Structure 1
Amino acid sequence: MKRLIKMREMSDNQKGVVKKISATGDMGRRIREMGLVSEVQIQIQGHAPLKDPVAVKVKDFTLTLRNNEASHILVEVNEPKLP
């Protein structure tokens, strides 16, 4: 089963597909310029000790986003199957 969550809620090494960017203006433009656009696959590489920022693998590079930026990105993830 798939569900939508904010990127900031994803766990380390979790994969997903970007579905929506709700940021507008300069922040929205900046996020899109970094390659975070609808239907791109991502993987969370890790979080800083205080959970901010988050490192994200997009295509063949890694970038970091602050939580306030990551909260504007909805990602479709697979829910783990129950036993």
Structure 2
Amino acid sequence: MAAKPDTPDFEHALQQLEGLVEQLEQGDLPIEDALKAFEQGVKLTRECQGILQQAEQKVQLLTEQDGEIHATDFNAPDE
């Protein structure tokens, strides 16, 4: 199952977030750069949370039908 092109990759977003945290922890960024890094970190955190929530919803929608497990996309229209 391929990810949508506009959907951020969780691992990439998390890696970026970790990099920002390291920069901020060093404490040597000018205040304007630190604020921009913090703002970007908040955005990445929200993106990661959204990806995790989508994954959780997909797991919850796993159902057993006729002895087989089928995944149902929670965004799919009702059939």
TM-score normalized by the length of structure 1 = 0.22
TM-score normalized by the length of structure 2 = 0.22
Q: Which has the higher contact order (CA 8 A, sep 6+)?
A: 1
Q: Whose strand fraction is larger, Structure 1's or Structure 2's?
A: 1
